Amino acid sequence: MACLLVGCESEPDLDLDTALAALDVLAKAARPHVLRLGPARGLEHALGTVAGFGGRAEDFEDLRSSLLHEVLRRRRGLPILLSVVWCEVAARLELAAQPLGLPGRVMVALEDVVVDPFGGGRQVQAPREPVLTPAELMLRVLTNIRALTSRKERSLDTARTRLWATELSLLLPRHPVALRRERGELLVRLGDHLGGADDLELYASVVEDADEAGAELARRQARLARARLN
């Protein structure tokens, strides 16, 4: 559900029930394949071959690849979102599945094997650790969105997208402290000079013992932001 709620930032009228129902439909369609072929090969056939879920290199440059409702619609996405689809379908079939935070690509530990949803669900030789917690998974999803905006041409739209991804990241129980500075800089850029200055000063107060120079830079940015109000 949390991944679907991220989509509400880009599509405020998003029908969450429709997206959840799509996962139910996928699970229902996959059940006979799983019974016939077993968990891994059954889901590979149902989700990879029949439904066409997978990824391509160009998907890394498309915001839709990080939004679960779009991944369900397009059948394409980043490894982490495709892994979410696999885990959600597996859960509906009462199969044990967990997302794995492997170097370079998120995969899925499914029963006694590891599968690569980005590659259509093929089985791979890979460790079954570390398992991503829900909070870690969400931070990765939002970090991917922030990284994408940094590769795009600077614009107010990309700044707004980066801002909501940053703000959602700050709601997680554990997140990099630098996100507070990032939010402050984005608010200033988008015209909220006072709110941005407050965030920059808060960041400075948190890091001043460990990074005196970074704290002073943030305070200088805050002073400049407040000066724009005069």
**Could you give the percent of the chain with pLDDT greater than 70?**
99
Residues 49, 125, single domain; the answer is yes
Which residues, including other chains, have CB under 8 Å from residue 172's CB and lie 6 or more apart? Answer: 135, 138, 139
Of 103, 135, 167, which closes a domain?
135
> What mean pLDDT is reported for the chain?
95
Does residue 158 lie within any of the structural domains? Answer: no
Does residue 146 lie within any of the structural domains? Answer: no
Both tokens assigned to 75:
């059948």
The strand pairing partners of 124, in sequence order, are: 114
Please give the DSSP secondary-structure letter assigned to residue 65.
G
Q: What is the CA radius of gyration of the chain?
A: 20
Q: Are 194 and 179 in contact (CB under 8 A)?
A: no
Number of domains composing the chain: 2
The residue to which tokens 């829900």 are assigned: 134
What pLDDT does 104 receive? 83
Residues 11, 76, single domain; the answer is yes
Q: Are 225 and 191 in contact (CB under 8 A)?
A: no
Residues 96, 9, single domain; the answer is yes
Q: Are 60 and 78 in contact (CB under 8 A)?
A: yes
Residues 84, 8, single domain; the answer is yes
- State the Cα–Cα distance between residues 9 and 190, nearest whole angstrom: 17
Residues 15, 119, single domain; the answer is yes
What angle in degrees, to the nearest 10, is found between the helix axes of 193-207 and 212-227? 160
Residues 131, 180, single domain; the answer is no
- State the Cα–Cα distance between residues 162 and 199, nearest whole angstrom: 16
Residues 113, 216, single domain; the answer is no
Residues 184, 109, single domain; the answer is no
Question: What mean pLDDT do residues 116-132 have?
Answer: 95
Does residue 77 lie within any of the structural domains? Answer: yes
Does residue 207 lie within any of the structural domains? Answer: yes
pLDDT in tens, 134-189: 999 999 999 999 999 999 999 999 999 999 999 999 999 989 999 999 999 999 99
Residues 48, 110, single domain; the answer is yes
Which residues, including other chains, have CB under 8 Å from residue 124's CB and lie 6 or more apart? Answer: 107, 114, 115, 116
The range of the structural domain enclosing residue 193 comes to: 176-227
Residues 193, 129, single domain; the answer is no
Residues 122, 180, single domain; the answer is no
pLDDT in tens, 39-90: 999 999 999 999 999 999 999 999 999 999 999 999 999 999 999 999 999 9
- Which of 7, 117, 127, 131 shows the shortest CA–CA distance to 64? 7
